[in-house]
Amino acid sequence: MLGVSGGVKIYFWSEPTDMRKGVDGLSRIVEASMKADIYSGALFVFVSRRRDRLKILTWDAGGFIVYYKRLEAGCFKMPRMRSGSTTVELDSAQLAMLLRGIDLSRVRKPILWEPKTFDTKGIDTIGQI
């Protein structure tokens, strides 16, 4: 199982990808089509035409890593995409569900509480209100 921390960016490319592509071919998709920085440490997820194979490309400490998963039965369920979009950002939980075969379009994420942002207006240069 692939362990991914919550702060890592994960980008899913929805166009069918030739799984014969290696690091160089997948890197060209990331840079030319996704317009992303291949060396950012983000995970880039690609799926085959039949959606039974999946590759994840990332850069780590001086080299590329490619993870590959082939399903023996069934297919990966595609995440929801905005109309006309070819890339969607996933979080680590969504990636784990995708790899386990869970249909992301049927999963509802709860709205999580976040603290209000602190308004710095009204604070002078020495930090007094």
Residues 63-116: pLDDT tens digits? 999 999 999 999 998 888 788 888 999 988 889 889 988 887 777 777 888 888
Predicted model pTM: 0.79
Q: pLDDT value at position 20?
A: 96
Residues 20-49: pLDDT tens digits? 999 999 999 999 999 999 999 999 999 999
Domain limits of the chain? 10-106
DSSP E strands in 7-86: the ranges are 10-16, 43-47, 53-60, 63-70
Contact 112, 62 (CB under 8 A): no
Contact 64, 83 (CB under 8 A): no
Q: Which runs of consecutive H residues, i.e. helices, occur in 8-111?
A: 23-28, 92-99
Confidence of residue 125 (pLDDT cuts 50, 70, 90): very low
Angstrom distance (rounded) from CA 88 to CA 17: 15
Contact 94, 67 (CB under 8 A): no
